[in-house]
Chains A and B, each alone.
Chain A
């Protein structure tokens, strides 16, 4: 893993000079191809709940962002997607995401297109995130939940679109309260948020369409 810090890039996107007083950790070495690969992993996991994709530790983002979660943000977030960081909104992390993604950082959870839950064991109020409207259910948040690991041998049972019959997903470092909350989320389909679970180097996804049984 590269831990090198590079000095701010003089021709980066428009931010105030003061913010660039920080050293900013590097983004993707090859944004075009790396984003493509990460997106395919996201597409794979979102369309096949229970599947775990390995992203590797290709990024060295500021704490508490994991390399996998950082890859998700750098692939999907930009100036059109407000990002909510909760209490993970350290100046260093805000600068990192603003610099690499150009995304606005917002305080109100309801405005966020992407929301970081830095520690899956300490959940914020999940009902506060946008669930879309009946006419536009896609105008909903995507949660990026950081967890510690995955298990395909035991865990919750998943059924629904993307799952052949049923499958099992075990998640370490995730509050048990998440599952009932996600069941409630599923019950309001087609409304609801979607979740991308990220460990240090792996991701799994839970679209609102998937049914969970504990």
Chain B
């Protein structure tokens, strides 16, 4: 197995620093079978087995052995992993961590990248999206980085992925228990717009003083007749912490509530990690007389005809002509592959758009 061979190079480095060269104990590999009952009756899971069933994802590429596996040194990974476990234990609470400079700028997803670097392993299948699309430049760049530093298999299919790193969207395809979502978060503090001081917001979380958030939302209603927050819409996690779901559109908020997947949020510049464990209550803040509601479009996706997905607006000409397409490219391509046809699908001038969002 080439991945293990490559990893031995890490050992050579690490041996000197931390670990004694020892007799191989890899001889006893963990069993590769899933012995898993329904989750509500307990389950036994062996560690190396979760993605044994992957079939159509790309074959594992060679990784660049000049770098540590997943770029980070082991001490940094340990620090992040400890923070992740605490984040899981206190859902919605932002755990401070000593975030590192990554080879991408802050703002390009360094929080998510550090999370992925700390969790990815040879059994994973990795998907990266930005604005819902696998082919946006930064998604391509992040995917390349992990292929280079880990040799991880990648996919554009939501269903095939075991780890999905995302910026600004949650895929339309329902997530499963075998998946981890990794969010890139610019401003993790939901109260930051009302109170710029960290020392203050920390106290507000400690005391559950969230009145200021409700006041802000209610001011919207008083002024505009509706809540004017459309993305980064605050949620209450497990009835305790108000949390920013990252700049996903509020359209995606309901997907977080009691989701079977584990959701991890990483803010690199602000140096915070937080989590929503599976099956955790995630309630979008609202008022009895102004219940939470999501965006609606009168149009359907021009390519696949979907009426229930988040739509991006595409400007077609200088005269106000526009169309709407699914923001989730995998969702759209899968629908078209299944024979769904949108009203604009046949237009030749949109062929490039259709090709870009088509499955490989």
* Contact between chain A and chain B defined by CB under 8 Å: yes
Q: Mark A residues whose CB is within 8 Å of B.
A: 1-2, 4, 6, 8-9, 11-13, 24, 26-44, 46-48, 50-60, 75-81, 99-100, 102, 113, 133-138, 140, 142, 150, 152-153, 160-169, 189-190, 194, 202, 207-209
Pair B18/A100 contact, Cβ less than 8 Å: yes
The reply on B213 being an interface residue by CB < 8 A is no
Interface centre among A34, A135, A164 (most CB of B within 10 A): A164
CB distance from A11 to the nearest CB of B (A): 5
Q: Hey, which chain B residues are within 8 Å of A32, CB to CB?
A: 7, 10-11, 14, 68-69, 74
Interface centre among A13, A102, A167 (most CB of B within 10 A): A167
Interface positions, chain B 114-163, Cβ under 8 Å from A, are: 118-122
Alpha-carbon gap, A101 to B315, bound state (A) = 57
Interface of B, helix, strand, loop or mixed by DSSP: mixed
- A46-B88, A55-B30 in contact; A138/B41 too (CB < 8 A)? no
Alpha-carbon gap, A60 to B24, bound state (A) = 12
The reply on B342 being an interface residue by CB < 8 A is no
Interface centre among B16, B20, B39 (most CB of A within 10 A): B20
A-B contact sample (15 more), CB < 8 A, given A39-B118, A152-B43 = A6-B23, A26-B20, A27-B22, A30-B4, A30-B11, A39-B81, A53-B47, A59-B25, A76-B85, A80-B79, A162-B278, A165-B40, A165-B279, A167-B39, A189-B90
Considering only CB atoms, which chain A residue lies closest to B280 in the complex? A161
Alpha-carbon gap, A194 to B93, bound state (A) = 15
Pair B89/A76 contact, Cβ less than 8 Å: no
Pair A55/B78 contact, Cβ less than 8 Å: no
Pair B119/A40 contact, Cβ less than 8 Å: yes
Considering only CB atoms, which chain B residue lies closest to A1 in the complex? B28
Alpha-carbon gap, A56 to B75, bound state (A) = 24
Pair B75/A162 contact, Cβ less than 8 Å: no
- A47's partner among B3, B69, B88, B207 (CB-CB below 8 A) is B88
Interface positions, chain B 78-122, Cβ under 8 Å from A, are: 78-79, 81-91, 93, 95-96, 118-122
Contact sample, A vs B, 12 pairs, CB 8 Å cutoff: A9-B15, A9-B19, A11-B15, A32-B7, A37-B48, A48-B43, A135-B202, A152-B43, A161-B278, A165-B279, A190-B93, A194-B86
Pair A162/B280 contact, Cβ less than 8 Å: yes
CB distance from A115 to the nearest CB of B (A): 14
Pair B25/A76 contact, Cβ less than 8 Å: no
Alpha-carbon gap, A47 to B178, bound state (A) = 12
Alpha-carbon gap, A60 to B41, bound state (A) = 32
- A50-B42, A75-B78 in contact; A209/B23 too (CB < 8 A)? no
Pair B25/A2 contact, Cβ less than 8 Å: yes
- A76's partner among B16, B44, B78, B278 (CB-CB below 8 A) is B78
Pair A31/B93 contact, Cβ less than 8 Å: no
Alpha-carbon gap, A56 to B118, bound state (A) = 22
Pair A163/B279 contact, Cβ less than 8 Å: yes
Q: Hey, which chain B residues are within 8 Å of A75, CB to CB?
A: 78, 81
CB distance from A42 to the nearest CB of B (A): 6
- A37-B47, A38-B47 in contact; A47/B277 too (CB < 8 A)? yes
The reply on B17 being an interface residue by CB < 8 A is yes
Pair B31/A54 contact, Cβ less than 8 Å: yes
Interface centre among A27, A34, A36, A76 (most CB of B within 10 A): A36
CB distance from A199 to the nearest CB of B (A): 12
Pair A58/B40 contact, Cβ less than 8 Å: no
CB distance from B209 to the nearest CB of A (A): 11
Pair B20/A8 contact, Cβ less than 8 Å: yes
CB distance from A163 to the nearest CB of B (A): 6
Q: Hey, which chain B residues are within 8 Å of A167, CB to CB?
A: 39-42
Q: Hey, which chain B residues are within 8 Å of A138, CB to CB?
A: 83, 86-87, 89-90, 93, 95-96
Q: Hey, which chain A residues are within 8 Å of B296, CB to CB?
A: none
Q: Hey, which chain A residues are within 8 Å of B45, CB to CB?
A: 41, 44, 51-54
- B88's partner among A27, A33, A76, A207 (CB-CB below 8 A) is A207
Interface centre among B4, B47, B78 (most CB of A within 10 A): B47
The reply on B316 being an interface residue by CB < 8 A is no
CB distance from B7 to the nearest CB of A (A): 5
- A43's partner among B21, B88, B203 (CB-CB below 8 A) is B88
